[in-house]
Amino acid sequence: MAAITLTTANFNEEVINSQLPVLVDFWATWCGPCRMVGPIVEELAQELEGQIKVGKLSVDDEQEIASQYGVMSIPTLLLFKDGKVAVTVVGARPKEDLRKQLGI
C-alpha cells in the first residue's frame, strides 16, 4: 500500500482516529532531504502494511496542520499512536536509523 496523501479534509479520519499507528511525513517538493526520505517512507509503507499507516503531508499545502504540530524543519516524521504524537524524527536518516528511532 502506498502512502496516503494527507490534507486538512482527511487528517482527523486518517491520523487522529486511526486504529493503527500512523507515520506522517511532513515534506515539500522543493526540499532536497525530503526527496531522499520519500522513497524510504514509501518502502516502510509497503513493508509495514497492516501494522501501521503511512501518510505524506505537504507543508506548503497544509501549513495549518504543520504549524499545529510545531513542524519547523523538514523532513519531519511524526509517529501517531492513539491520535497523539508518540515519536518525532527531524531530518533525513537512513532507513534502519528511522526504523530504530521510530520503534517500527
86 band by pLDDT with thresholds 50, 70 and 90? very high
Task: Single out the catalytic residue among 15, 31, 41, 66.
Answer: 31
Does residue 1 have a pLDDT over 80?
no
Q: What is the pLDDT of residues 44-66, one digit of tens each?
A: 999 999 999 999 999 999 999 99
pTM: 0.95
Q: In what order do the strands lie in the sheet with 84-90?
A: 4-5, 53-58, 22-27, 76-81, 84-90
Going along the chain from its start, the domains and CATH numbers come out as: 4-102 (3.40.30.10)
Question: Is 31 an active-site residue?
Answer: yes
Task: Single out the catalytic residue among 3, 24, 34, 40.
Answer: 34
Q: Catalogue the long-range contacts made by 35-43 (C-beta closer than 8 Å, 24 or more residues apart).
A: 36/92, 37/75, 37/77, 37/92, 37/93, 37/98, 40/94, 40/95, 40/98, 41/3, 41/77, 42/2, 42/3, 43/95
24-37: average pLDDT: 96
Q: What are phi and psi of 54, to 5 degrees?
A: -125, 130
Does residue 102 have a pLDDT over 90?
no
